[in-house]
């Protein structure tokens, strides 16, 4: 069955690890009649966690998609990982959805990943709700968790469902919007019934909050609310739809998904009041400018590839979010990113890993194209070649890197092939060969992500892999002015080689890299040899005089020289300039530079002192910190050499609860023992390289 844009809802289920996302996803599909029974995560049979790695580790690693039908509405749900190591799949799901449902454990309240996800949704201006789960646990407290959300995010959640009891006395939830009670039924969909008398006062109070939220939907409704003190059911529904689409309130839901509690009213609310795709916008690149465009079923077809996976039976799967028009099976489209025509064969939706063939997808829907030759994540697919490219997924920079190689040299190419595929499937995972350090380096969001990728390659491809800490890409620079001249002179049979160059060098401000000035007057070096001089300078800068690291932030001025009308050549001047540069650099008080990273750490406040102390021991410079509701954010500058194992160190300090983001900031000078150690290590590396 084909659904129009107005009949589609897209919802991402996200949250901190172990908050019950996959369990809720499973029970949503069960309540929607999609699966005959809801499996547990422990069973290894859930729809959301279908890969062997997920089954073995009992955590979500990849985003899973499934859908249910309710009152003629198709709701696509995305079950996403809770670990920050797999945040890429959360972000692509946010891009594909118009509504995010953040899972909050009714015992633990708001946790670190919840805070980070909330900030990401703030940046996107994305409508969201909260599902407070596990309320059948003795330590759970719905009202306390609501207060925690209010304190940490400075918002007043509007309860759409309320719990009946808690812990051992928990017996279900009340749907405030539709004024119905739903009672838990073991291994069955929850049963609808009348609201018990003892909860009618709480329901009336919660309904008043919902009416106030609905009144925010538009000015007319607000006037009606002020005049009458209430809204009709029709006005209330209209206001809730409009206000939620504009993120004017945050609906809160209660439940215990493992016991099928709170699932049906959640589906009803999303079908009735969840934002439909018409309320959303996407971003295209118009030249260098990012421009918003509406999600429009009446415009020519266009879609964004949000994810690429490989299935052993179906081959390559390209997940697409349709932004405009319709995507039909067995048609021809255009890959705007690759400037190539693309034959679209069969298209599918899915329930976890189970594919369901469809004839078309309307704007707003998400589906899968199989066996595409050219499509890759972030590609734009469109009806014509004059469409604009969609802005790529906004993914965080990797925070953890390791150098890798195959134990058997013959497996190196094969290993590279599968690392490239892994980087295509997960865009937060990077693979590249560092020519400077002669290492293959892989980078990702954490040790867990990288270990899972490498373990999968080892197991499936039978490749033995070695890993080690990657070398740091240091730089060299100068701290004072200097000058040197060099004459390259060589006489052989026939023409000789002759070129004389006088260079002056001076330090540049950090980050300006290089400037070449031709100050020759009177033809001391003919113009046609000046390119050779600059090539020689660049060759000299490629390997500095301290430890053979590249040289940066240097102004080079060629001020004089001499040529021979017969024996001079561009090569002669290149060799003369290279040696003149190196001689000048030795006199210019050279120094080593190390990369310094901008680090942001998120930890519970109880770990703040330990984390700050650790950063100080790592030569870190604390730039500032903020705390809100028990979560601290620390901003610091730390040398990259001190952060090569930081994901492991932070996990140890914070019992696995801390997380961080890191990005290159600048290069800074180092001297003394630290510089001596770097030079010594570099000399060992050069000896080893020569032996090989």
Identify whether residues 104 and 177 lie together within a single domain: yes
- In terms of domains, do 567 and 600 share one? no
Do 124 and 259 fall within a single domain? yes
Asked if the model's pLDDT at residue 493 lies above 90, the reply is no
Checking if the pLDDT of 579 tops 90, the result is yes
Residues 523 and 578 in one domain: yes
Same domain, 523 and 638: no
Residue 692 confidence (pLDDT) above 70: no
pLDDT tens-digit map of 238-256: 999 999 999 999 999 999 9
- Whether 154 and 165 have beta carbons less than 8 Å apart is answered as no
Q: Write the CB contacts of 287 (distance below 8 Å, at least 6 apart in sequence).
A: none
pLDDT reported for residue 288: 86
Kindly report the backbone phi and psi dihedral angles of residue 125, in degrees, each rounded to the nearest multiple of 5, phi listed first: 55, 40
Last residue of a domain, which of 244, 279, 314? 279
Tell me the CA end-to-end span of the chain in Å, nearest whole number.
63
User: pLDDT per residue over 125-150, tens digit each?
Assistant: 999 999 999 999 999 999 999 999 99
pLDDT class of 257 with cuts at 50, 70, 90? very high
CA distance 328 to 677: 62
Can you give the pLDDT at residue 639? 97
Among 454, 471, 488, give the residue marking a domain's end. 471
- The verdict on 272 and 286 lying in the same domain is no
By C-alpha distance, which of 345, 337, 360 is closest to 315?
Answer: 345
Domain that includes residue 76, residue range = 5-279
Q: How confident is the model at residue 494 (pLDDT cuts 50, 70, 90)?
A: low
What is the model's pLDDT at position 686? Answer: 64
Q: Can you give the CATH number for the domain in which 490 is found?
A: 3.30.230.10
CATH assignment at residue 605: 3.30.70.240
Instruction: Tell which of 257, 279, 301 closes a domain.
Output: 279
Whether residues 628 and 480 fall in one domain: no
Q: What is the pLDDT of residues 204-218, one digit of tens each?
A: 999 999 999 999 888
For residue 688, what pLDDT band results from cuts at 50, 70 and 90? low
Same domain, 253 and 323: no
In this prediction, residue 187 carries a pLDDT of: 83
Instruction: Specify the pLDDT at position 1.
Output: 65
- 413's enclosing H/E stretch is helix 412-425
The DSSP string of 347-410 is EEEEETTEEEEESEEETT-EEEEES-SS--TT-EEESSTTPPEEPPP-PPPP-EEEEEEESSGG
The answer to whether position 680 is within a domain reads no
Number of domains in the chain: 5
Could you give the percent of the chain with pLDDT greater than 70?
A: 98
State the CATH number of the domain containing residue 140. 3.40.50.300
Q: Judge contact between 80 and 12, C-beta under 8 A.
A: yes
> Tens digits of per-residue pLDDT, 362-384?
999 999 999 898 899 999 999 99
Mean pLDDT computed over 306-333:
94
86 and 228 belong to one structural domain: yes
Q: Measure the CA–CA gap between 626 and 172, rounded to whole angstroms.
A: 39
Beta-bridge mates of residue 174? 162, 181
Please state, in angstroms and rounded to a whole number, the distance separating the CA atoms of residues 132 and 16: 12
Name the average pLDDT for the chain. 94
Residue 150, burial from CB neighbour count under 10 angstroms (0-12, 13-18, 19+): middle
Q: Is residue 689 part of a domain?
A: no
In this structure, the answer to whether residues 136 and 119 fall within a common structural domain is: yes
Kindly state whether residues 301 and 415 are assigned to the same domain: no
Contact 214, 239 (CB under 8 A): yes
Supply the CATH number for residue 343's domain: 2.40.30.10
What distance lies between CA 383 and its chain's CA centroid? 29
Whether residue 212 is contained in a domain is answered as yes
pLDDT at 522: 85
Provide the pLDDT for residue 232.
85
Please, which pLDDT band fits residue 687 given cuts at 50, 70 and 90?
Answer: low
| Residue 686 in domain | no
> Tokens standing for 343?
């034959």
- pLDDT (tens digit, 9 = 90+) per residue, 496-528? 899 999 999 999 999 999 999 999 988 899 999
What's the pLDDT tens digit per position in 537-563?
999 999 999 999 999 999 999 999 999
For residue 679, being part of any structural domain is answered with no
* Structural domain contains residue 688: no
- Both 28 and 120 in a single domain? yes
Confidence of residue 314 (pLDDT cuts 50, 70, 90): confident
């Amino acid at each position: 069955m084909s659904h129009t844009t107005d009949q589609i809802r897209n919802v991402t289920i996200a949250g901190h690890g172990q908050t019950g996302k996959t369990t809720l996803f499973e029970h949503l599909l069960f309540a929607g009649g999609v699966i005959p029974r809801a499996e547990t995560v422990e069973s290894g049979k859930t729809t959301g966690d279908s890969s062997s790695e997920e089954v073995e580790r009992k955590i979500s690693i990849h985003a899973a998609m499934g859908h249910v039908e309710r009152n003629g509405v198709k709701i696509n749900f995305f079950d996403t990982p809770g670990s920050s190591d797999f945040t890429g799949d959360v972000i692509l799901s946010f891009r594909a959805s118009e509504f995010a449902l953040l899972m909050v454990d009714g015992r633990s309240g708001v946790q670190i990943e919840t805070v980070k996800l909330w900030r990401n949704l703030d940046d996107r201006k994305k409508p969201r709700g909260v599902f407070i789960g596990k309320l059948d646990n003795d330590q759970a407290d719905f009202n306390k968790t609501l207060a925690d959300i209010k304190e940490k995010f400075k918002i007043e959640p509007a309860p759409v469902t309320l719990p009946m009891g808690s812990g051992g006395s928990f017996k279900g939830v009340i749907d405030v919007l539709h004024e119905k009670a739903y009672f838990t039924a073991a291994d069955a969909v929850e049963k609808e019934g009348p609201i018990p008398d003892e909860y009618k006062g709480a329901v009336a109070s919660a309904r008043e909050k919902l009416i106030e939220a609905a009144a925010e939907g538009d000015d007319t409704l607000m006037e009606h609310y002020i005049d009458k003190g209430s809204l009709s059911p029709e006005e209330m529904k209209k206001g809730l739809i409009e206000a939620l689409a504009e993120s004017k309130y945050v609906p809160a839901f209660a439940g215990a998904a493992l016991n099928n509690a709170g699932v049906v009213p959640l589906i009803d609310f999303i079908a009735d009041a969840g934002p439909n795709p018409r309320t959303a916008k996407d971003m295209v690149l118009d030249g260098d400018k990012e421009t918003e465009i509406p999600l429009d079923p009446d415009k020519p077809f266009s879609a964004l590839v949000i994810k690429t996976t490989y299935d052993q039976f179906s081959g390559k799967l390209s997940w697409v979010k349709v932004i405009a028009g319709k995507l039909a099976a067995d048609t021809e489209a255009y890959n705007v990113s690759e400037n190539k025509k693309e034959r679209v064969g069969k298209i599918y939706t899915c329930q976890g890993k189970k594919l369901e063939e469809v004839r078309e997808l309307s704007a707003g829907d998400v589906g899968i194209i199989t066996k595409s030759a050219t499509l890759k994540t972030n590609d734009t697919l469109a009806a014509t070649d004059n469409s604009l490219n969609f802005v790529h997924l906004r993914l965080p920079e990797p925070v953890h890197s390791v150098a890798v190689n195959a134990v058997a040299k013959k497996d190196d190419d094969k290993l590279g092939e599968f690392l490239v595929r892994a980087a295509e499937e997960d865009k937060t995972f990077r693979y590249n060969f560092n020519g400077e350090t002669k290492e293959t380096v892989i980078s990702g969001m954490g040790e867990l992500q990288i270990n899972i990728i490498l373990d999968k390659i080892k197991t499936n491809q039978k490749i033995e892999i070695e890993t080690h800490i990657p070398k740091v890409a240091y730089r060299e620079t100068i701290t004072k002015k200097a000058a040197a001249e060099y004459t390259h002179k060589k006489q052989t049979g026939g023409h000789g080689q002759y070129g004389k160059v006088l260079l002056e060098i001076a330090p540049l401000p950090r980050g300006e890299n290089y400037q070449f000035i031709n100050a020759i007057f009177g033809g001391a070096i003919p113009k046609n040899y000046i390119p050779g001089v600059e090539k020689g300078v660049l060759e000299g800068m490629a390997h500095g005089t301290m430890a053979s690291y590249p040289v940066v932030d240097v102004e080079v001025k060629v001020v004089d020289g001499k040529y021979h009308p017969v024996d001079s050549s561009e090569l002669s001047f290149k060799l003369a300039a290279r040696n003149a540069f190196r001689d000048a650099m030795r006199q210019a008080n050279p120094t080593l530079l190390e990369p310094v990273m901008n680090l942001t750490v998120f930890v519970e406040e109880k770990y703040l002192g330990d984390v700050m102390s650790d950063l100080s021991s790592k030569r870190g410079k604390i730039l500032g910190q903020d705390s809100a509701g028990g979560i601290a954010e620390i901003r610091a500058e730390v040398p990259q050499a001190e952060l090569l194992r930081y994901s492991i160190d932070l996990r140890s300090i914070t019992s696995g609860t801390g997380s961080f983001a890191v990005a290159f900031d600048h290069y800074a000078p180092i001297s003394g023992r630290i510089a001596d150690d770097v030079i010594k290590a570099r000399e060992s590396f050069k000896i080893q390289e020569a032996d090989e």
